[in-house]
């Protein structure tokens, strides 16, 4: 291994093998230094700690997300990257949810599921939520302790998206804390270096979450409303409906995805904006400027840094980089968003940049179904926060959690 200028990273240019512990504080607190080094030596590398090839060039990631020779569905029963060993008997409930999740499926099943669920998330449907999101943002801000400091993550970033998605689905908003617990326990399955205890906790959460939703599905069958569960029950595509298992998996996916990344992105965005100094409300003086600021926040400090795919055939992705059927590849979204070949001054926060784009929501058939909702929530909540508190400032230096590849803060203490 050849040492880089970064003491916690070792890279061998001959074999393109990288040694970098994702739990190393110098890395997870600021992954962009390592990404900048890697952009300079190779956008494709074998990451020893994960055991698969990773890609971080913007064009590479964008193309591989769309390449149908790769997918999310576990091919031919090959044990997936979330397994520890081959025995998954203790993960029956968790695997049952995953087996019907559109995120883990490919066409034709994925197409049918996504078509049925997507009608609730098209932009015109989501736009109707704008007044409710603004009212909720103001309610949460009204509850801040004016003497401060206030941790914005539990006081603002977390309750807003979980309340909106719970209201959309038609489940009790007061269940929010329990929904968050189940969600956190399930998404812990995707974090590097998990334990048997993590798996058993996730399985228990999946079981309880599914039981809870089955009760609400049964209730909505008898008494339909104008909520998303009722819509999923009644939705048809070519005469086909969602099965109960598909409905439960879809609802869990929407609840988990509908808040997890948005919470992280809200915290990361507040941190990024405050780091620019001056009056933060200057970034929100018009609808266009607000939208551009949110897009730059998504590019500058994304909430998800790695997304994995399985190879469905033998493929030479780049000279000397061959993957075989069933092998995993890692697509580094956060690294791609800082590619100097795709962005002028990628380390600079510039909402007015002419090269504005990002892969934070993915691309291709698995592009985030909730992207319109996440964008609206971020635009409304950030604009409301900084207009209400233009003198908002950090009360302490925020630290990122040791949860690569979910890139989010531990706390975000602010004063007014």
CATH class of the domain whose range is 84-301+364-394: mainly alpha
Residue ranges covered by each domain of the chain: 84-301+364-394
Q: Could you tell me which of 278, 306, 273, 307 has the C-alpha nearest to residue 379?
A: 273
User: Quick one: pLDDT at residue 125?
Assistant: 81
pLDDT tens track for 116-174: 888 778 777 899 999 999 999 999 999 999 888 999 999 999 999 999 999 998 999 99
What's the whole-model pTM score? 0.93
CB 1 within 8 A of CB 10: yes
pLDDT tens track for 212-268: 999 999 999 999 988 888 988 887 666 778 888 998 999 898 888 778 899 999 999
Q: Please tell me whether the peptide bond between 87 and the residue prior to it is cis, using omega within 30 degrees of 0.
A: no
Backbone Cα Rg of the chain: 21
């Amino acid at each position: 291994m050849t040492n880089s200028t970064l003491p916690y990273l070792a890279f061998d240019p001959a074999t393109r093998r990288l040694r970098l512990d994702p739990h190393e504080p110098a890395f997870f607190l600021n992954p962009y230094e390592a990404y900048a080094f890697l952009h300079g030596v190779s956008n494709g590398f074998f990451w020893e700690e994960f055991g698969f090839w990773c890609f971080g060039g913007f064009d590479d990631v964008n193309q591989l997300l769309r390449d149908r020779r790769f997918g999310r569905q576990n091919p031919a029963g090959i044990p997936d990257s979330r397994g520890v060993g081959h025995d998954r008997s203790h993960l029956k409930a968790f695997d049952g949810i995953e087996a019907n999740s559109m995120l883990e499926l490919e066409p034709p099943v994925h197409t049918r599921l996504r078509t049925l669920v997507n009608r609730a998330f098209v932009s015109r449907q989501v736009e109707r939520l704008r007044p409710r999101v603004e009212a909720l943002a103001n309610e949460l801000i009204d509850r801040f302790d004016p003497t401060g400091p206030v941790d914005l993550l539990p006081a603002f970033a977390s309750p807003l998206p979980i309340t909106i998605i719970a209201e959309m689905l038609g489940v009790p908003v007061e269940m929010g804390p329990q929904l968050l617990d189940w969600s956190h326990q399930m998404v812990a399955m995707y974090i590097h270096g998990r334990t048997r205890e993590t798996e058993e906790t996730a399985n228990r959460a999946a079981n309880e979450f599914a039981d809870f939703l089955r009760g609400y599905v049964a209730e909505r069958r008898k008494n339909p409303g104008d909520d998303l569960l009722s819509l999923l029950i009644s939705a048809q595509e070519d005469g086909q409906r969602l099965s109960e298992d598909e409905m439960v998996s879809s609802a869990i996916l929407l609840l988990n995805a509908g808040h997890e990344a948005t919470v992280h992105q809200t915290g990361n965005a507040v941190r990024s904006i405050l780091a620019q100094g001056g009056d933060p409300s200057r970034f929100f003086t018009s609808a266009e400027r607000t939208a551009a600021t949110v897009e730059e926040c998504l590019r500058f400090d994304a909430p998800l840094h790695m997304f994995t795919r399985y190879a469905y055939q033998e493929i030479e992705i780049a000279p000397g980089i061959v993957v075989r059927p069933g092998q995993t590849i890692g697509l580094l979204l956060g690294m791609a968003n800082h590619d100097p070949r795709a962005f002028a001054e990628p380390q600079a926060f510039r909402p007015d940049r002419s090269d504005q784009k990002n892969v934070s929501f993915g691309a291709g058939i698995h592009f985030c179904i909730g992207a319109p909702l996440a964008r609206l929530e971020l635009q409304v909540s950030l604009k409301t926060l900084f207009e209400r508190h233009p003198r908002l400032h950090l009360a302490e230096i925020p630290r990122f959690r040791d949860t690569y590849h979910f890139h989010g803060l531990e706390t975000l203490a602010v004063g007014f």
